Amino acid sequence: MMMMIGWGSLLLMIMMIMIVMVVVLVMKENGLTGVKYSYSDVISKSLKVASAFKKSGYKPGDVIAVFSTNNPEYLLVYIAAAAAGLTTTTMNSAYSANELKFHLENSECCAIITTEELVSTVKEAVGTSETVKLKEIIVFGNSHGCRPFSTLVEDDGTALTEVYSGNAKEDVLVLPYSSGTTGLPKGVMLTHHNIVSNLLQLTILDFDTSDRILGILPFYHIYGMVCILFSIITNGCSIYTLPKFEPEIFLSTLSKNRITCAHLVPPLILFLAKHPLVEDHDLSAIRRIFSGAAPLGKELLLECKERLGVQEMIQGYGLTETSPVVHLSVPPIRHEGSVGTLVPNTAAKIIDPETNEILGPMQTGELCIKGPQVMKGYLHRPEATADMIRDGWLYSGDLAHYDEDGHFYITDRLKELIKYKGFQVPPAELEALLITHPDIKDCAVIGIPDEKAGELPRAYVVTNDKSTIREEDVLNFVKANVAPYKQLRGGVELVSEIPKSAAGKILRRILRDSYKNKLND
Ligand code: 4UV
């Protein structure tokens, strides 16, 4: 597989398939706006935006942030930034001003592109920061004091004399954030080489130009970014974008547009398998459902497959740090419940986390990964990078095993990370917030299992001696400070101490076991 091509080559690929229409619909809260771009629109508009970036003085290596729900223009920004040699950083559109401030400071971005609804959050984040130095706020739509994105699309294109082609293995194309195995979110440096490699690895799935793809998963997260948005480019499919999940709009988008492939996460698959509304919609065009980001149980997979009559339920496994795809259950699928086999040009090993000994088939240990899709590293965090990538192997923090046929099964997580509906909730972030409360002297956050969401964050809190705060106060404190998906939906428990190792590390396993035991009592 040829791995040294950069994003510029991808642009050429787009030009080759320009004759194919990309149909993109924006659903806003009050209905369907129906904006459509063809592939030739996408390429010509992106190059104009790239020219506008150049006129604004942004240079190769500069970072542009996108803080937005899904819309068709998201793709223009990614391609424009790549063509101008810029890096695009993305963040969850549900972020609070404080969360956004951390991201903007850490990524040192020079401009942000956002929506009308989110401008106030951006202004609050920027206003409270001493180090964020944005040259401009660009807005999809119109907002006082912000530059409309439409003016970039209307640029005359003259400042972009050539598409940037630098060093594909060094230049960072995208900078999503992940907490990795421990600690606070970190910028994951994914190069042109990483992303193009993963897109080529994904071509083992047979999409074609007649496929109509659903773009409901967020384009800021690696799954939506690469497996959905970028991969339509390599396949020449059409994409129908949705900014958020609303049952009726979700189902009617699937049925009216005869969607052939839906990339989903397990909570949405649960919805399709169980919700009564599904019966009112004709979903017979769906030939393939794709699941990733969190475990999908075999029973649920089969229930959804049977109810919808879908031919293929494909699972993908990977991490933000692996661009993301490492495993795919490529049809014909013989082992439902498995995340499949390794994608081309990728190696894996399962090791005993205690001894580092390499384990054989059917033995559970930590999954380690090697391949061209493994990140360059974490931004400004050489020690965290060295901890995650050792001797060329990325230590995933996931527990897994493989069978005699080379099919992998993800069974548990060694790392701290909590996943709520596929979204990352780093316990360290909630712990850092809780400890700022004047009445809290120690705390720990774990994930507890939940049928609908996968996991829910739950806090254990030690209060100061004279404190009178109750569980509810802790819940409200967190609610006021973080994005809704990070709230302590698993509850709060006031305890007298947090179990810790001799080195002071929180013993989360003890808390998880004590929660399980309580449930069983
Ligand atoms: O960093 P991140 O938020 O990355 C992701 C990546 C998702 C996808 C989606 C479709 C793919 O084809 C693909 O390759 C990857 O969510 O979180 C990484 C962690 O999420 C869990 C696991 O704990 C990772 O370390 N995870 C991701 N995919 C799966 C999964 C899965 N299929 N089954 C179980 N856990």
Task: Tell me the residue type at 337.
Answer: G
Of 411, 373, 400, 402, nearest to 389 (Cα)? 373
Say yes or no: CB of residue 375 within 6 Å of ligand 1: no
Which residue, judged by its Cα, is nearest atom 17 of ligand 1? 319
Ligand 1 contacts CB of residue 14 (under 6 A): no
User: 218 in ligand 1 pocket by Cβ < 6 Å?
Assistant: no
Is the beta carbon of 413 within 6 A of some atom in ligand 1?
A: yes
Q: What is the pLDDT of residue 34?
A: 81
Å from CA of 214 to ligand 1 middle = 19
| Any atom of ligand 1 within 6 Å of the Cβ of 315 | yes
Cα–Cα dist 334/381, whole Å: 41
pLDDT tens by residue, 272-327: 999 999 999 999 999 999 999 999 999 999 999 999 999 999 999 999 999 999 99
292 CA distance to ligand 1 middle (Å):
6
- Tell me the per-residue pLDDT of 184-233, one tens digit each, with 9 for 90 and over: 999 999 999 999 999 999 999 999 899 999 999 999 999 999 999 999 99
For position 144, what pLDDT does the model report? Answer: 96
CA distances from 71 to 22, 186, 217, 309, 481 (A): 13, 25, 11, 29, 27
**Whole-number Cα distances in Å, 143 to 21, 112, 120:** 31, 14, 10
Task: State pLDDT tens for residues 60-89.
Answer: 999 999 999 999 999 999 999 999 999 999
119 close to 97: Cβ distance less than 8 angstroms: no
Question: Does 22 score more than 60 pLDDT?
Answer: no
Single out the residue of 186, 188, 189 nearest to residue 106, CA to CA.
Answer: 186
Round the average pLDDT of the chain to a whole number and report it.
Answer: 93
What gap in Å lies between CA 63 and CA 518, rounded to an integer? 48
- 47 CA → ligand 1 middle, Å: 32
Among 59, 62, 240, 71, which Cα is nearest to 149's? Answer: 71
pLDDT value at residue 23:
59
For the cut 50, the answer to whether the pLDDT of residue 176 exceeds it is yes
320 in ligand 1 pocket by Cβ < 6 Å?
Answer: yes
> Which of 9-18, 107-116, 348-357, 501-510 bottoms out in mean pLDDT, i.e. has the lowest?
9-18
Phi, psi of 209 (to 5 degrees): -65, -15
Model pLDDT for residues 404-426, shown as the tens digit of each residue: 999 999 999 999 999 999 999 99
Mean pLDDT of 363-370: 98
Q: Whose CA is nearest to atom 20 of ligand 1?
A: 293
Atom of ligand 1 nearest to the CA of 320: 1
Residue 7 alpha carbon to ligand 1 centre in Å: 24
Q: Is 22 in the pocket of ligand 1 (CB under 6 A)?
A: no
Checking if the pLDDT of 109 tops 80, the result is yes
| Rounded average pLDDT over 226-248 | 95
- Cis bond leading into 427, ω under 30°? no
Tokens 């380690």 found at: 368
Q: What angle do CA 361, 182, 496 make, to 5 degrees?
A: 110
Which of 298, 300, 312, 317, when mutated, tests ligand 1's pocket best, judged by the most ligand atoms within 8 Å of its CB? Answer: 317
Question: How do 347-351 and 365-370 pair as beta strands?
Answer: antiparallel
How far is 133 from 489, CA to CA, in rounded Å? Answer: 35
- Calculate how far, in angstroms, residue 303's C-alpha sits from the geometric centre of ligand 1: 22
369 lines ligand 1 (CB under 6 A): no
How far is ligand 1, taken at its centre, from the CA of residue 337, in Å?
14
CB atoms within 10 A of CB 161: 8
Can you tell me the mean pLDDT for 328-341? 88
**pLDDT tier at 336 (50, 70, 90 boundaries)?**
confident
According to the model, what pLDDT value does residue 21 have? 52
Per-residue pLDDT band for 20 (boundaries 50, 70, 90) equals very low
Nearest alpha carbon, ligand 1 atom 14: 325
pLDDT at 1: 34
Return the percentage of the chain with pLDDT > 70, whole number. Answer: 94
Give, to the nearest 10 degrees, the angle between helix 427-434 and helix 471-481.
110
Residue 12, pLDDT > 70, answer no
The beta strands (E) that lie in 209-356 are given as 212-215, 238-241, 261-264, 288-291, 312-318, 325-328, 341-342, 347-351
Burial 107-128 (b: 16+ CB within 10 A, else e): bebbbbbbbebbbebbbebbee
Ligand 1 near 323 CB (within 6 A): no
- Listing DSSP states for 465-489 in one string gives TT----HHHHHHHHHHHS-GGGS-T
Whether 518 has a pLDDT exceeding 80, the answer reads yes
Q: What is the DSSP letter of 115?
A: E
User: Three-class SS of residue 284?
Assistant: coil
Looking at per-residue confidence, does 334 or 217 come out higher?
Answer: 217
Q: Cα separation of 361 and 281, whole Å?
A: 43
Burial class for 54, CB neighbours closer than 10 Å (0-12, 13-18, 19+): buried
- Cis ω before 148 (30° cut-off from 0): no
pLDDT band at 26 (very low <50, low <70, confident <90, very high): low
Looking at residue 6, what is its pLDDT?
Answer: 60
- pLDDT class for 521, splitting at 50, 70, 90? confident
List the one residue out of 205, 225, 234, 226 whose CA is nearest residue 315: 205
- Give residue 186's identity as a one-letter amino acid code: K
What value does the mean pLDDT take over residues 239-259?
96
| Residue located nearest, by CA, to atom 4 of ligand 1 | 319
Residue 398 CA to ligand 1 centre (angstroms): 10
What number is the average pLDDT over the span 113-121? 98
Question: Quick one: pLDDT band at residue 333, thresholds 50, 70, 90?
Answer: confident
Residue 168 has pLDDT above 50, yes or no: yes
* 178 in contact with ligand 1, CB cutoff 6 A: yes
| Residues recorded for the chain | 521
State the closest ligand 1 atom to the C-alpha of 413, by its place in the atom list counted from 1: 23
How far CA 46 is from CA of 41, 76, 182, 215, 470, in Å, comes to: 8, 5, 37, 19, 53
Q: What is the ipTM of this complex?
A: 0.99
Ligand 1 centroid distance, CA of 84 (Å):
30
Sign, Cα dihedral of 294, 298, 301, 303: negative
Instruction: Determine if ligand 1 sits within 6 Å of the CB of residue 243.
Output: no
